Structures are given as C-alpha cells and as structure tokens.
Structure 1
Amino acid sequence: MPVVTTPYAPGTPCWVDLMVPDQQAALDFYRDLFGWQGEVGPEEFGGYAVCTLLGKPVAGIMKAMSMDGSPLPPPTWTTYLSVRDATATQEAVTANGGQVLAPAMAVGELGRMLVALDPQGAAFGAWEPLQFPGAQIVNEPGALVWSQLNTSDPAGAAAFYEAVAGLRAAPMPEMPEFTGFQVDGRTIGGLQGLENFEAGTPPHWLTNFAVDDVDSTVDALVRARGTVLVPAFDMDKVGRMAVVQDPQGAAFAVVATSAPALP
C-alpha cells in the first residue's frame, strides 16, 4: 500500500472533507462504513476532525456552522485541488468568473486553503501544502479514488479549471467517449454534463471512495440509514459502482475498480 508523503502535482485532487450538522454521527457512520478513525478536533480549528485509515489521514469531517444567521449549508463532500499558491488561485477564481466563499487562509503550519464556487456553481476547495500534502492514502479501499465534476456547462467548466488550477480536459484514452481532467498528461478526475441527472440537479463535484465490494458496502450503508441514489452497476473498463447518500444527506460514490486515478 503506497503512502503519499510529498505534495500532489498542482491540480490533483488531494483532500476531501465533509460538512454536516451532526459531526459525531458522521464520524460514527464513516467509521463503521470505511473503517476510519477520527474524533472532534481542537476548538482553535473549529473542532475539525481528521479521519485516518491505518493511521494515515484520508479525509476530514466538520460541523456545519451558520454564517451571519443564515441557514446551515447542506451536507456535502468538498474536493480540494492541490495548488502552488492559494492567494494566486483566489485571484484566478474571481478573474475567471468564479466566487470565493472562504478566502485564502492559513491552517496553522499545515498549509493554506480556500473554498470557492466555479462559474456554474459547483463548490470546490484549493489546498496549498506546507507541512501537510493532503490524503496520505488513496486508491485503496476506504480512501479517495476519483473526483467527478458534474456540470451544466462542461466547456465553460473546462476553461475555468484550466485557468485556475492547470487542469486540462481531454478524452480519456481508455474510454474516449468520456472526458477526463488531466495533470501532466495523466487523467486524475472526470468531467461530464448533467444530461443523465434528475432535472434541477445542481453542478457539483462527486467524491468517489474505493471499496472492496460495492454491493456489501451499499447493504451496510442502507442498514445504517443511508440512501441509495444510483443502485450498483458495472461500468465497462472501470468497475462496479453506486452513488449513495449518508444518513445526513451528503452524496458520494463507492467504486470497486482496478483502474485507480490518483498517485
């Protein structure tokens, strides 16, 4: 099992975190589903919990908080792209039609981050690594394996992420009917329109976690009061997958694949 200890190439999804109303319930749910270990963190970091798998960080879980008395944001997984300079990335976001939700800020000595919306409205994060490169296990059961942008304007989104993060949209060599996001010529994520989604589905990044067995994972999720959005199915040259929601409503996918994307 390879362990990531150096910064990800700029543009690569390097971290994911979850914002939910009930942080402890989410920690318990993902512990049982993926084997993660995590606990509510220090107050100075808003109680942010870093979840580990086999002792290595793989994802974060935080309690949703209201801003200025507004309603709580919906439960959601956020994908963070590795960047060289968070401040420069923030400037590129606004210059290319995006909106900054959380301006570039330091996270102790670990790195610098920001959260933004792309022009179509999909939320994403950017991470400038200092002492912390991001997820230290990927492409293994219970860890991040793929990030998929589902958007109302694929061409517009492709231009935005190329300008902001250096991602290049191109057909995937093994599946030319699909569009992938590439870093240094290597496919590290995907891009597609919303034609196959229910009407009204907003643009979003979908986090995909690797599992040994999709069907048994989905069964366990349902027993824990999660919801199946897209039942398990086989995708040619990829593997078996399903799209689900945790009990608080955050969507993600589970995938059993022999074609991992991340380093």
Structure 2
Amino acid sequence: MKITEVRPGRPCWFEHSSADPGAAQRYYGELFGWEGETDPRPEAMCYTVMRLEGAVVASVVQLVAEGQPTAWSVSVAVEDVDAAAEAAQASGGQLLAGPMEALDLGRFAVVADPAGAVFGLWRGRAFPGAERFAEPGAAGWIELATRDVAGAVGFYHGLFGWSVSSGEQYTQWGLDGTDFGGVLDMGEQFPADLPPYWMPYFEAADVDLTAERAVILGGEAVLPPTDAPDGPRLAVLKDPLGAVFGLYQALG
C-alpha cells in the first residue's frame, strides 16, 4: 500500500539501531530486497534509509548511546511533537530524548511509556515517513509487549486516540476503522528481566519461506511460523545482530 499522506496517530517510521549498520543493511537487503541510501551530509552521521523498489520503508542508524541495545524501534506521527511529549509525560511516560530537529527532515522525540516501552514521536517536513505499508517487504503491523496491558491501553488511547478491540487472547489498536497494531501480555514465557518493548512486523508473501531464509542468513527463529488464532500466519525472528522483528502473511 502506497502511503500518500502520513496521518497523525499512525505508525510512520521503523528504525534499526545497530552496532554494525553495514551488517544490518546487508542482512535486510538480502532478506527483503531493500537497498540502502546513506545521507552524505556529515551531520547526518551516516543515516541510511532503506528502499523497497525505490520507496522508503525503514532506516538503519549507528548506536549513539552507551548501553543502547541493537533493536528495532517504532515511531508514531503527531501534529506537534512538543505537545505530544508533554502529554506523554503528564500520563506517566518519560522523555528520553528531544524534542529536537532532525536536520531538515522533521522534528522528533523519544519517549517511554509508564511501563518502560520506548517509542518515537515524529513530525515530518522534508521526510514524512515510510512510503509503503502493509505490503510484502514493508512493515504492516506494530506490537507492544508489556506486563501492564490495561495501563498500556489507557496510555496510548489517551495519547493518540487509538481505538481498542479486546479479544480473549489479544488486544488490537487502530484508528479510523483500520487496525494496525496490538498489545501482547508478557506472561511467564518471557524472561523476567526482559523490559517491555515495541516491535514491527513486516509483511511476507510466504512467512515460512521468508523465516527460513532469515535463519539461513544468520538469524534465529524466536517463534517459528505459526497460525495466530483467528489471525494471520506469523513468525518472530532475531537478526544476527540481536534485534527482534516479526513476519506476517496477510489474510485472503
């Protein structure tokens, strides 16, 4: 699906922070067919956008903070980064970085929800965000893993106005009648010391084949391909650098 307009409240950007950006670019390039384009400006610190058939879908960036893990992050589009950051803090969140300008590209902030899950706020200018969503090779779903589902539902509904659809096993979020994410309860299957986190899922034409290739390229299957109850076929992988991401195969 081509994104012609980034709507406030929707996921808009997916960034891989890595100790070895070159290795990350090669891995996802081979897995999804992405091609990297590095910003030549010195002040951009080798920021690299990843393109799928010419359309920007994600980015790879060098780790910048001591102790920062290699991981995928998710950003949500907002009308006013400063106001959204203040609202997040007023609701129990924590401001980790910003608000600040990202060259001529836009304005951003990094915040953590009350349980500690980190996400970004983005107001684009020269760069609105991802140009493809919910098609093979592009992100199409975001998921929060947390031990406080009720608290998360209240926090994100209040911050972004997300709708809530709660089932017996899974809670989904959406906006304007379209669901684009969910929240997973971190039960006993998760290590006790693992903090809450956000994770993107990338659509695959064939989850089984893509997951197999992800492992052949050096990744690890955290959750082998499986059919979600009343949902799509999915898998969760860890790339060779340690970042966790999901795959899903659209229904129909």
TM-score normalised by length of structure 1: 0.89
Q: Aligned AA for 1:78?
A: S
Residue of 193, 203, 215 corresponding to 2:196:
203
Aligned match of 2:84: 89
**CA distance in structure 2 between the aligned counterparts of 1:154 and 1:184, rounded to whole angstroms:** 22
Is 1:111 paired with 2:109?
no
Once the two structures are TM-superposed, the CA of residue 161 in structure 1 deviates from its matched residue by 1.2
CA deviation after TM superposition for structure 1 residue 110, in Å? 2.4
Contact 2:221 2:238 in 1 (8 A): yes
CA shift at 1:177, angstroms? 4.7
Bigger drift between 189-198 and 227-236 goes to 189-198
Q: Distance in 2 between matches of 1:24 and 1:151?
A: 31
How many Å separate the matches in 2 of 1:196 and 1:209? 26
Q: Please tell me whether the aligned partners of residues 200 and 246 of structure 2 are also in contact (alpha carbons under 8 angstroms).
A: yes
Distance in structure 2 (CA, Å) of the matches to 1:233 and 1:206: 18
Tell me, yes or no, if the aligned pair for 1:27 and 1:39 is still in contact at 8 Å: no
Deviation at residue 196 of structure 1 after TM alignment = 5.8
Give the distance between the partners of 1:106 and 1:30, measured in 2 at CA: 28
Distance 1:177 1:152 in 2: 14
Give the residue type in structure 2 aligned to 1:136.
Answer: E
Whether 1:189 and 2:184 are equivalent positions in the alignment is no
- Counterparts in 2 of 1:141-180, with a 5 A limit? 141-171=136-166, 177-180=169-172
Identity %: 37
Structure 2 match to 1:32: 30
- What's the secondary structure of 1:217's corresponding residue? helix
Task: Please provide the CA RMSD for this pair.
Answer: 1.7
In the other structure, the counterpart of 1:45 is 44
Moved over 6 A (4+): none
Superposed displacement of residue 176, structure 1: 6.3
Within 2, Cα distance between the matches of 1:79 and 1:196? 25
Amino acid at match of 1:20: S
Q: CA deviation at 1:89?
A: 0.7
Larger mean Cα displacement after TM superposition, 56-65 or 219-228 = 219-228
Counterpart amino acid of residue 6 in structure 1: E
1:128 aligns with 2:123: yes
Amino acid at match of 2:175: V
TM-score (norm 2): 0.93
Match of 1:58? Answer: 57
- Stretches of structure 2 that go unaligned for 5 or more consecutive residues are none
1:6 aligns with 2:1: no
| Aligned residue identity for 1:81 | V
- The structural deviation recorded for 1:229 is 0.5
Q: 2:218 aligns with which of 201, 225, 229?
A: 225
Q: Distance in 1 between matches of 2:190 and 2:150?
A: 21
**In the aligned structure 1, how far is the partner of 2:229 from the partner of 2:155?**
29
